[in-house]
Chains A and B, each alone.
Chain A
């Protein structure tokens, strides 16, 4: 699909709509139109739902440069920001519901640093035995239950939810509540009203938890934030929004990587066998990096707006023009990855942009890596006969999600 708009030089150009559609039967590959755009040029115009025509950034090198450029803003209140959906007036006035992910430095850095400590590489590594126990128990619980079963509901969602609940100090018993509200927020077809209402419910819930921690401090991240609130360093409503961000980001993304990664491995039996047979943690780690690259689940493009004129790749991005940095196709850039469409768990290339780039690069990435290493390193060894319980064509994919994945993955063993 495409629409006709006036191009910047005054002529008329054919501008494709974004997001684009994946090819039927190729659920792991980015849309063919996106690949064509990458082949043609590092920058192109695309048309959004509101008729705006921001820049699409297609290649790895330009994606890195722009995401790391301080003249590029992540703040959706700046004019020209390429919003993925209508923004409510409440969100416009009361600040972003997802806290510092949609702010620029220095405020972004100030808030992000308050929660980065628990996600540092060494502190996360210290959680490995705990994460291993959570994964082991989840597998045993699944094996003790009905067969076949939906892997998403019985394993992929519980594991990262249990981990992030423990780290934040959120009671896991509330998982139905926070998972269902998260689902509404990350579905790009949710109405503005539904998304605002779900965000409101989660913010209120986290605000209540921060309030509890003010009275009864624990050894968790929300308690750290409560301490900051008490010290006057952080408004309580901002603490609640940070809690919402970490809770959603902490379970949605990893859950999708677990289920979609399992499907990708089942569809690549040689790769699955190599992973199942190995005792080498380096190979498991390499498999995690490759699946992060290959699947690139944040398929909505990273959204930015230029605050100043930027000359790049023979074009000038004007101040106030929107940018969509399509890291999913960047991860398939043949300049950086040989045979980019192949899934090769031995590739050993960590230059993918599954976690983004620039100062907004995912702060939870050490935790995501740890969880995926433990899951991919354990599940297929413990359940060597794991296989799909339906035809691959019957699996429902999250084409409408801001995070890609599968809604269900019926498996048997």
Chain B
């Protein structure tokens, strides 16, 4: 799984951090997404898929 994020689309709602904190974080100053791991291990895939689905701004792209 390859994860990418679009900072321009991100609205800082924090859904991804709540869902997969091992993979996503937010910048302290403006809450915009920070990708911690672009190739997460398999046991995180389900959470990452959920994070992409929950993102209100469609800012998370997955290629599997």
Contacts and interface: CB of A to CB of B under 8 A. Distances in A.
B31 A117 contact: yes
A117 B28 contact: yes
Interface string A115-126: 011011111000
A365 interface: yes
Interface centre among B17, B28, B31, B54 (most CB of A within 10 A): B31
B56 A359 contact: yes
Interface stretch (A147-155, A178-186, A267-275, A350-358): A350-358
Interface stretch (A28-36, A106-114, A195-203, A247-255): A106-114
Given A362-B13, A365-B13, A366-B14, A350 B29 contact: no
A358 B31 contact: no
Interface residues of A, number: 26
A361 B17 CA distance: 15
A113 B7 CA distance: 11
Interface string B15-44: 101110100011111111000000000000
Interface in A71-123: 109, 112-114, 116-117, 119-123
Contact of B58 (A68, A113, A116): A68
B24 to A, nearest CB: 9
Contact of A350 (B26, B27, B30, B54): B54
Nearest to A67: B56
A112 B13 CA distance: 11
A305 interface: no
A363 interface: yes
A120 B14 contact: yes
Contacts of A355: 13
B17 A117 contact: no
Contacts of A109: 11
Interface in A332-373: 350-351, 355-363, 365-366
A363 B13 contact: yes
Contacts of A67: 56
A359 B26 CA distance: 16
Nearest to A362: B13
Contacts of B21: 121
B54 A119 contact: no
Nearest to A68: B58
A116 B30 contact: yes
Contact of A359 (B17, B30, B57): B57
A365 B14 contact: yes
A387 B32 CA distance: 43
Contact of B17 (A113, A122, A357, A358): A122
A67 B14 CA distance: 17
B28 A361 contact: no
A116 B33 CA distance: 11
A113 B12 contact: yes
A250 B61 CA distance: 31
23 contacts: A68-B56, A113-B32, A114-B30, A116-B12, A117-B28, A117-B30, A117-B31, A119-B12, A120-B12, A120-B17, A120-B26, A122-B26, A122-B28, A350-B54, A351-B54, A358-B56, A359-B56, A359-B57, A360-B11, A361-B15, A365-B13, A365-B14, A366-B14
Which 9 A-B pairs have CB atoms at the shortest separation, nearest pair first?
A116-B31, A361-B56, A116-B12, A120-B26, A121-B17, A120-B31, A121-B14, A359-B11, A113-B30
